[in-house]
């Protein structure tokens, strides 16, 4: 009996691409971290400001399958996201006249920006416009 490879048969080349991609991921994860700190706005530590900020990007390590939309090529940037989460927290207990155990507040915001649709290749802008056409604009 003779076995012939089919269109879905993968060669060892794809496995090598996955290993190289994982090695790059580990390298970026270890090299791009910083310690987290909070900044107190007064000497007693009643008011503090902290934030979680990061930007991440992803690149394709191999060509996409035919059914993938939008199609992508190796080493093409396929994602670039920036995330921010600032927080402001305060303890008002020392100044409150009601003798409560705790009076405090916390203001937390978050947001993100997917920039690939604005400055990436035109295929991402076309995809964004196709999705927008499905939603009501009114």
Distance CA 78, CA 59 (A): 5
Kindly report the pTM of this predicted structure.
0.53
Residue 107: per-residue pLDDT:
96
In a domain, 4, yes or no: no
Measured between alpha carbons, how far apart are the two ends of the chain, in Å? Answer: 64
In a domain, 45, yes or no: yes
Residue 137: per-residue pLDDT:
53
In a domain, 47, yes or no: yes
Range(s) of the domain holding residue 112: 12-132
Beta carbons within 8 Å of 104's beta carbon, 6+ residues apart: 89, 90, 91, 92, 93
Residue 90: per-residue pLDDT:
93
Per-residue pLDDT of the chain (138 residues; tens, 9 = 90+): 554 444 444 444 556 667 777 777 676 666 666 666 667 888 888 899 988 888 898 888 888 888 887 788 888 888 888 999 999 999 998 888 888 899 999 999 999 888 877 777 777 777 777 775 555 554
In a domain, 75, yes or no: yes
Distance CA 130, CA 136 (A): 12
Return the closest-CA partner of residue 76 out of 60, 88, 52.
60
Does residue 70 have a cis bond before it (omega within 30 degrees)? yes
Q: Count how many domains the chain has.
A: 1
């Amino acid at each position: 009996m003779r076995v012939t490879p089919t269109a879905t048969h993968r060669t060892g080349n794809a496995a090598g691409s996955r290993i190289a991609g994982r090695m790059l991921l580990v390298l970026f994860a270890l090299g791009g971290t910083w310690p987290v700190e909070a900044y107190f706005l007064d000497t007693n530590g009643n008011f503090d400001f902290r934030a979680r900020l990061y930007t991440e990007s992803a690149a394709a390590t191999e060509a996409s399958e035919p059914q993938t939309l939008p199609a992508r090529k190796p080493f093409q940037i396929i994602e670039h996201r920036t995330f921010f989460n600032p927080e402001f927290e305060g303890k008002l207990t020392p100044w409150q006249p009601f003798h409560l155990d705790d009076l405090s507040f916390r203001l937390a915001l978050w947001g993100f920006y997917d920039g690939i649709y604005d400055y990436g290749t035109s295929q991402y802008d076309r995809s964004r416009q196709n999705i927008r056409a499905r939603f009501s604009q009114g």
